[in-house]
Amino acid sequence: MIGRKRWLYALAFLCLVICPVSGSAQTPKAKIILDTDIGDDIDDAWAMGFVISYTGFAPLGITITHGNTPARARIACKLLHVTHRDDIPVFVGRQTNDKVFPQYSWAEDFMAKRPEKKSAADFIVETVKRYPGEVTLLAVGPLQNIADALRKEPNLSRYVKRVVLMSGCVYGTSYSAGKAIREWNVYQATADAQLVYGAGLPLTIVPLDSTTHVQLSDAERQRIADYHSPLTYALECLYRLWLSGPQQRMTLHDQLAVAEMASPATFFGKQESLPLVVDDEGYTRIDRERGKPVTVCLEPRRDAFMKYYLDELTGQRLGL
């Protein structure tokens, strides 16, 4: 009888291991919208590569912001197509100029996947209302689309879970000797940034204070190039188009914001809640009277972040 009981216990244990109960379901994937000005600096494409390959994300769409948005959208569409992520739609924001950059040539004749007809701002508003409290906006470019969404829905903060930006400069950069400077994503659309920073959104920023300390080494780039997948091949192609000389190296601005979204607070030694405003010149200022609370990510853990980021890009065969 004792032997039979032991056998039954063993069988029950195997059933629990092989057929777990429904209550032990995996953690739901994070619903996100990536808002990007892909096509100028190279970090946007490499950040998007992480977003579409990371198993913890459920990308609901890619929205394109700033400048020649139709041309930028073709890059995003081609990157999704060659990696077999045509399931992710692309939405175009308002066009603010018609400039062309070298990376645009990678997709200039690409037609296999096209953006949706709905505007980026309409998509953002409709999506966060469809999933109230579940969607994080991850914006790594100038803030026209987020601002336009706020103009359409002033109560956007009621619907979003979180807003993470690569944006701003509070104390200084690795090269500005402790002096704050104007950050590109803010001063390229200053009025839009003022609206976003002042809207009371659940806002987290990864500023130049952190990102300027993290550059891609030659060995790290080679690791990506040596990993033969459609995604890493595309990223290396775009990197070569972006290079202007042999000494140029990518600063991982946008990737740090993506990593903060993927694993909050993991890759920073300090996170401060600061009352911030954007002034009329495009500076991000601490203002105790007028500023809205913003979580600011500081003191990047460079090596831990780079391992995490590169392991993800070389830990899958996206597109095969």
Residue pLDDT, tens place only, 58-92: 999 999 999 999 999 999 999 999 999 999 999 99
Residue 14 lies in a domain: no
Residue 178 belongs to domain spanning: 27-313
12, part of any domain: no
pLDDT score, position 315? 83
In a domain, 21, yes or no: no
Domain tally for the chain?
Answer: 1
Alpha-carbon radius of gyration of the chain: 21
Angle at 134 between CA 84 and CA 295, to 5 degrees: 105
Q: Given this model, what pLDDT does residue 4 score?
A: 54
Is 15 a member of any domain?
A: no
Amino acid at 51: V
CATH number at residue 77: 3.90.245.10
* pLDDT in the model for residue 157: 97
The b/e string for 164-182 (b: 16+ C-beta within 10 A; e otherwise) is: bbbbbbbbbbeeeeeebbb
Sheet (strand 268-278) strand order: 90-92, 57-64, 30-36, 135-139, 162-166, 203-206, 292-300, 268-278, 284-286
> Residue 23: what pLDDT?
38
Domain presence at residue 93: yes
Other CB atoms within a 10 A radius of the CB of residue 85 amount to 19
> Which residue ranges in the chain fall short of pLDDT 50?
1-2, 5, 8-24
Q: pLDDT at position 319, please?
A: 53
Which pLDDT score is estimated for 320? Answer: 56
CA–CA gap between residue 114 and residue 98 (Å, rounded): 19
- One-letter amino acid of 311: D
